[in-house]
Amino acid sequence: MTRLLIHGTGRMGRRIQARLPAFNNFTLVGLVSKSKPEDTNLWSPALADIDQDVDLLIDFTLPDGTRTVAQWCEQNGVALVSGTTGLAEEDKLALKKAARKVPVLWAPNLSFGVALLDSLVRQAAAALGSEADIHIAETHHVHKVDAPSGTALALAATAMEGRGKRLEELLGSKDLGDLVEAEDGGLTFSSVREGEVIGEHSITFRLAGEEIELRHKALDRDVFAIGALKAAEWLVGQKPGYYSTSDWLGLN
């Protein structure tokens, strides 16, 4: 039985709890968040208060919390799945440092459909090369703070890797979290925040006289919760390392 700790009790944390009964190999040993959720005796306000044995932690919180989580998991030998977006470089470095001692899977989007989309984007970018302009559009609910979304940035990075380049090199010293448009390399973004949209992403390759569009639309937030739990099932059997959804689903 895998002893699970959930860090963050917002929308995603609540959906993971709701879906947890379908995963018989997990037992929930704690919830960590600043404010106490209703109807639970498992709550702790901080990781430092956790005194139970934990095998795996699922993290859906704010970026500054993810850095703390990575350090705690490294120190306590706990596997980590994180879907928190808007991470700064130091947050990602903390995850990679933890991955030297424990298995870590971070992804801006844990749905199977987006993992497959990412694989298709890599293939398209490699086949079309630098002749195609690339536009990535994303729409989310009004509560989402980061723009472009973490998934949009991940798709952009994958497209550049398909061309044999790195997104950071293409954009120079710009902060990717603040990026809305980049002229070099024909890569552009657009972000919309409206209503309660769960998440929509499209990537369009534009050539002379034609376009190729790949698109994903999340219809239910539970696809991310189920994905997180399935990724967690896979991760607990892995050696220390820094993993992606492609590793989990065998899409490399």
The residue from 92, 96, 135, 144 that is catalytic is 144
φ/ψ of residue 52, rounded to 5: -90, 160
Task: Say whether 230 is catalytic.
Answer: no
Residue 191 CA to residue 181 CA, distance in Å, equals 10
CA distances from 202 to 29, 30, 115, 217 (A): 38, 37, 13, 9
Residue 183 CA to residue 188 CA, distance in Å, equals 7
The residue from 140, 141, 201, 216 that is catalytic is 140
Q: Which two tokens stand for residue 197?
A: 């949209």
Instruction: For strands 103-106 and 241-243, give the pairing.
Output: parallel
CA atoms within 13 A on the CB side of 13: 24
Task: Say whether 144 is catalytic.
Answer: yes
Residue 32 CA to residue 8 CA, distance in Å, equals 6
Burial of 53 (0-12, 13-18, 19+ CB in 10 A): exposed
Active site residues: 140, 144
